Chains A and B, each alone.
Chain A
């Protein structure tokens, strides 16, 4: 079946602009995660959605970052007033539910802030 998809695959933006990144999880997966990966580094957790519960926003690096999820479907990560340090690959993952062992990752969106 279809895996996690993300769009766009690449995004180049000017410093100070807002960007929106989209994630389509696997159908039926109630848990959705956003991570960020800077060049040559491991993944950093950003935010986690589980069903209709309040999201876990503990990983968001600043108030310029926000995310929404409509029910158990699409999620959008928004970065306002982008800075050069926001340049990274943004990865989305989903899992069947919070207790599931396995997270399925999308291919990521490469964001470059010039």
Chain B
């Protein structure tokens, strides 16, 4: 399985943008890039995913490098509630057109948000 590399921790100020990087130099052409986050004492929650093009949703934006060897999760205005561990995960494309199988979690990036 292709692996991801993320910084152990990052800090941000409230109401400022946050850019969380992820390196995945061994990504295959059929791997989706997924991001999950885990708030303290909770199970992980889905944030966003993409394949080649940049993606936006109500929670965040995902910027994917042209060679797909890296990506960046962007929180446009960090709030205290965004303090969590953020996981960048690669999932293979399934025959049915979606992602498949279990998620392989690394250690993620622990984001701290200062008021």
Chain A: residues with CB nearer than 8 A to chain B?
A: 4, 33, 35, 41-45, 48, 56, 59, 91, 93, 98-108
Chain A nearest CB, measured from B90 CB (Å)? 13
B94 interface neighbour in A35, A99, A104, A105, Cβ under 8 Å = A99
Chain B: residues with CB nearer than 8 A to chain A?
A: 32, 34, 42-46, 49, 87, 94, 96-108
Q: Which residues from B are CB-within-8-Å of A56?
A: 101-102
Interface core residue of A42, A91, A106 (most chain B CB under 10 Å): A42
Chain B nearest CB, measured from A4 CB (Å)? 8
Q: Which residues from A are CB-within-8-Å of B107?
A: 41-42
A interface SS class: loop
If A105-B43, A107-B43 touch, whether A98 touches B102 (CB-CB below 8 Å) is no
Determine whether the beta carbon of A100 is less than 8 Å from that of B102: no
Determine whether the beta carbon of A99 is less than 8 Å from that of B108: no
Determine whether the beta carbon of B103 is less than 8 Å from that of A107: no
The 10 closest A-B pairs by CB, nearest first: A105-B43, A99-B98, A42-B105, A99-B96, A45-B102, A43-B105, A102-B46, A99-B94, A42-B107, A105-B44
**How far is B107's CA from A102's CA once the two chains are assembled, in angstroms?**
20
**How far is B101's CA from A56's CA once the two chains are assembled, in angstroms?**
9
Q: Which residues from B are CB-within-8-Å of A104?
A: 45-46
Q: Which residues from B are CB-within-8-Å of A42?
A: 87, 105-108
Q: Which residues from B are CB-within-8-Å of A101?
A: 32, 34, 46, 49, 98-99
Q: Which residues from A are CB-within-8-Å of B44?
A: 43, 91, 93, 103, 105
**How far is B103's CA from A44's CA once the two chains are assembled, in angstroms?**
9
Q: A48-B102, A56-B101 are in contact. List 11 more A-B contacts (CB 8 A).
A: A4-B43, A35-B102, A42-B108, A45-B104, A56-B102, A91-B43, A91-B44, A93-B103, A98-B100, A99-B100, A103-B103
